[in-house]
Amino acid sequence: MTSPDKQFLLEEYKSRINRVFDYIEQNISKRFSLDELASVSNFSKFHFHRIFHGMTGETPFQFILRVRLERAATYLAANPKKTISEIADECGFSDQATFAKSFRNHFKMSATDWRKNKSIYQSNLGKTFNNFNQTIGNKTQSEFQPSMYYCNQSKTIKWRTTMELNKSTEVKELPEMTVAYVRHIGPYKGDSKLFEKLFNKLFTWAGPRGLAQQQNMKSIIVYHDDPEVTEAEKLRTSVSITVPEDTKVDGEIGKMVIPGGKYMIARFDLTTKNFQAAWDWVYGKWLPTSGYQPDDRPCFEMYGEECTKEKFIVDICVPVKPL
């Protein structure tokens, strides 16, 4: 078998496993059967378990349990008004005793203690931002606090900020978007060469199909996991472009739907060194004073303008709902 043939087969296997990832993430509160997941992957139910474990290092149900626990940990931080039992149920745990035991085994503390120590979690979100403050001058943290105003032109609430990288911030409805993607599993923070490689792979596929020349096409990086909760080696990231709903994908190129709904959209003018500062500002400064909390949908970066290797105009999009 030639090397290109082997590469094609590997990409097909990755594509099928990615479909299982997407299916689990979109239905995390339901109970899954091995037959059901094998059907999604289009592998035989007799071999699916071994293939999944061999490619991911986890069994399907180890993966499901980990994703549920990590989502619950994020919810505990972001939803202080919800009870632990409500969060456990939303994340697919019908048995509270099982949730409590599994949470303690995974995070080495109870869900109650995790929630009590959320000040530590929130301070982690702001570490890079605080360091960034020190590098740009003697501004106090209060000077970076956003203030709300009503925009007559757009008929929406917007926020004024003095965070120098932030160009605009608003909350608005985004439509559902179908995207084609290349997925990466593992560390990504600060690795501009990784993202360049993934986008090159995606556009090499999209270009000959006329998808790179679409009017109003958006380039999007979807973050499926919370980097404050999930180990770096298991973080899932999808480099994507918007495509028509009926687009056919193959090999390593997958297709998924980014849910529509209400998002806070913060536009930034960044270099590769500033991305963490921008994300920390969103979570550490904007959210706590906005009256909103994160909703149960993936967050993402959206690029609608041409970027250079030095500068990026990027919209950080975080799904939100009232606090």
pLDDT at 286: 87
Single out the residue of 276, 305, 316 nearest to residue 124, CA to CA: 276
- DSSP conformation class of 235: -
Positions of CATH 3.20.80.10 in the chain: 172-322
Query: Could you tell me where the beta strands, DSSP code E, fall in the chain?
Result: 147-151, 156-160, 166-174, 177-185, 219-223, 236-242, 254-258, 261-270, 292-294, 299-303, 312-322
Calpha distance 26→85 (Å, rounded): 21
**CATH 1.10.10.60 domain range(s) in the chain:** 3-116
Torsion of CA 305, 309, 311, 315, to 10 degrees: 50
Distance in angstroms (rounded) separating the CA atoms of residues 268 and 274: 9
Q: Do the Cβ atoms of 180 and 255 come closer than 8 Å?
A: yes
CATH (residue range 172-322) = 3.20.80.10
Give CATH superfamily name and number for 3-116: Homeodomain-like (1.10.10.60)
Cα Rg for the chain, rounded, in angstroms?
21
Q: Which residues of the chain are modeled with pLDDT < 50? A: 1-2, 119, 121, 123, 125-143
Quick: pLDDT tens for 107-147: 999 999 999 886 454 545 444 444 444 444 444 444 456 76
Give me the pLDDT at residue 142, please.
46
